[in-house]
Amino acid sequence: MALPQKKYYRQRAHSNPIADHCFEYPAHPDDYNWSTLFPKTIEQEQKNKQVEFLDVGCGYGGLLVTLSPLFPNNLMLGLEIRVKVSDYVNDRIQALRYQHPDQFQNIAVLRTNAMKYLPNFFHKGQLKKMFFLYPDPHFKKAKHKWRIINKWLLSEYAYVLAEEGVIYTITDVKDLHEWMVKHFVEHPLFERISDEELKSDIIVDKLYESTEEGQKVTRNNGDKYLAVFKRIPDGYNPN
């Protein structure tokens, strides 16, 4: 089985994330059949294993493929709204699994709108890491409501993220970087991780080049602005 070729999976760059597409989604995370995405791990090894890393708007899947061998014990999922692009990632993962049996069993892709259905797919505090790499900038003011980082969605990300969980962001658009930093810093459940602390995080280096968009920015000599945030405890104890 050969790796898929991107030229057969091209699609318009932007999909309206607010429009009602027809997505199937579970009423509750436990209603979803996760073994369809991770058949080997969940059916044969650990039935209760859950997704812990989430690449939101994963594009062509470069980050998942890079992180897969580095974190073999963590299940990682990419979310992608565009049909052909998510088909490409799926075909890429199936081909990699075929070519390297026993590898790439911990990564998968799901076509969905990440701005609408996260709590349907993930339990409170389930995720350890979330990635927003080169998110769509939606430059015009009227389209800022389409940005995937905003104060309402940050509360939803805080809900699905474990305490001490980490959100990684990177973009080549300075205005979007400043927008993301502002919203995270203003949110009571996030704090920015210092550059000093990030030096020991092996993931940070991978954020610049492992995705297709990151490689495109490099080819065009663009800037890259990184900001990483930690989910801080909310002090809520129902007991």
- Catalytically active residues, by annotation: 136
Should residue 156 be labelled a site residue for ligand SAM when binding is judged by CB under 6 A?
Answer: no
Tell which one of 85, 130, 154, 228 touches ligand SAM (CB under 6 A).
85
By CB under 6 A, tell whether 29 contacts ligand SAM: no
Residue 133 annotated as lining a ligand binding site: yes
For residue 79, give Cα distances in angstroms to 86, 115, 199.
8, 10, 27
Residue 114 annotated as lining a ligand binding site: yes
- The smaller minimum CB distance to ligand SAM, of residues 29 and 214, is found at 214
Per-residue x/- track, 4-23, ligand SAM (CB under 6 A): -----------x-x------
List the one residue from 172, 214, 227, 231 that touches ligand SAM (CB under 6 A).
Answer: 214
Contacts of 68 (CB under 8 A, 6+ apart): 76, 103, 104, 106, 107
- Site for ligand SAM contains 115 (CB under 6 A): yes
Q: Single out the segment in contact with ligand SAM by CB under 6 A; choices: 21-29, 182-190, 196-204, 211-219.
A: 211-219
82 binding ligand SAM? (CB under 6 A): yes
Which segment (87-95, 128-136, 158-166, 172-180) binds ligand SAM by CB under 6 A? Answer: 128-136
- How far is 46 from 151, CA to CA, in rounded Å? 36
CA 141/CA 89 separation, integer angstroms: 31
- The residue among 41 and 64 lying less far from ligand SAM, judged by its C-beta, is 64
Q: Does the protein bind ligand SAM through residue 118 (CB under 6 A)?
A: no
Among 38, 121, 134, 159, binds ligand SAM (CB under 6 A): 134
Shortest distance (Å) from residue 141 CB to ligand SAM: 18
Catalog residues that contact ligand SAM under the rule CB under 6 A.
15, 17, 57-59, 79-82, 85, 113-115, 133-136, 148, 211-214
